[in-house]
Amino acid sequence: MKHLFIDMPLKANTTINLERNLARRITRVLRFKQGHKFVLFNGKDGLFETTLTDIENGVATLGDCLQQQPAPQHTALYLALTKRDAFDRAVRQATEMGIDHIYPVETEFSVPDKLKTERLDTIIQEAAEQCERLTLPILHPHQPLKTALEQAEGKIFWADESVAKENTLGQWGSNPTTLNDGLLIGPEGGFSDTEKQQLRSHAKIVRVGLGQHILRVDTAVCVGIGRFFDHLQA
């Protein structure tokens, strides 16, 4: 059954008026008919069986709670601002993979298009619908790298290209990962020498590698998160 995100409170066995955009999408894009069954989630209350009961007025009736809302997690992706397409893909893929917080980070070599929060929220919602996750990652306001490092609660695993070039995987193994930890992915072109120095000497930073090749931002995000979660599970 199709999973759809809705930004309003959900409770089993109640009737709701769908917000206008969602009602349009359901009838015009997805072409649901009266009586069509689907599932709704809002990132807070769980997953609810839903029936479209009144197309004209966009009314839906919630049935049972099919899945309880999972407990909030705290894994974070610190993602250097970079060109729109790559940033969009990275945000989508991080959502699919289950990251909980996304912190856009300003760096010296960032060549960002303007960060359009609304577009990114849509990307996040659609990715969550698609991959059937019940929580949405929180997209935080962008901030300088230095501020992000100061405010981080756990360790930050930095995918450092120079570790990759040494053809090692760095310190993944020797640093037990906790749910407050995060992953840092630099911009296209990498970090500046000054930034690299700051990162290398920073107490919260753990230098890790992602393999021997230089990866584009979106690929680095996927490979990095994969490895990050492996170490959470280990």
Specify the DSSP element, H or E, that contains 207.
Answer: strand 205-208
Residues for the chain: how many in total?
234
Strands 37-41 and 15-17: unpaired
Q: Least Å distance between CB 168 and its own copies? A: 11
Stretch that binds its own copies, among 23-31, 52-60, 129-137, 190-198 (CB under 8 A): 129-137
Strands 47-54 and 37-41: antiparallel
In the list 131, 138, 179, 232, the residue contacting its own copies (rule: CB under 8 A) is: 131
Residue 173 binds its own copies (CB under 8 A): no
Which is closer to its own copies, CB of 51 or CB of 69? Answer: 69
Burial of 149 (0-12, 13-18, 19+ CB in 10 A): buried
Sign of the C-alpha dihedral, residues 142, 148, 154, 158? positive
Residue 213 binds its own copies (CB under 8 A): yes
Residue 24 binds its own copies (CB under 8 A): no
Residue 223 binds its own copies (CB under 8 A): yes
Residue 214 binds its own copies (CB under 8 A): yes
Stretch that binds its own copies, among 6-14, 31-39, 111-119, 216-224 (CB under 8 A): 216-224
Q: Least Å distance between CB 57 and its own copies? A: 32
In the list 49, 96, 121, 153, the residue contacting its own copies (rule: CB under 8 A) is: 96
Residue 59 binds its own copies (CB under 8 A): no
Residue 101 binds its own copies (CB under 8 A): no
Residue 71 corresponds to which tokens in the numbers above? 């407990």
Q: Least Å distance between CB 208 and its own copies? A: 13
Residue 133 binds its own copies (CB under 8 A): yes
In the list 55, 59, 215, 232, the residue contacting its own copies (rule: CB under 8 A) is: 215
Q: Per DSSP, what are the bridge partners of residue 49?
A: 39
> CB–CB of 88/81 below 8 Å?
no
Q: What is the DSSP string of 59-104?
A: EEEEEEEEEPPPPP---EEEEE---HHHHHHHHHHHHHHT--EEEE
Residue 9 corresponds to which tokens in the numbers above? 């409170």
Residues that bind its own copies (CB under 8 A): 89, 92-93, 96-98, 130-133, 211-216, 218-219, 222-223, 225-227, 229-230
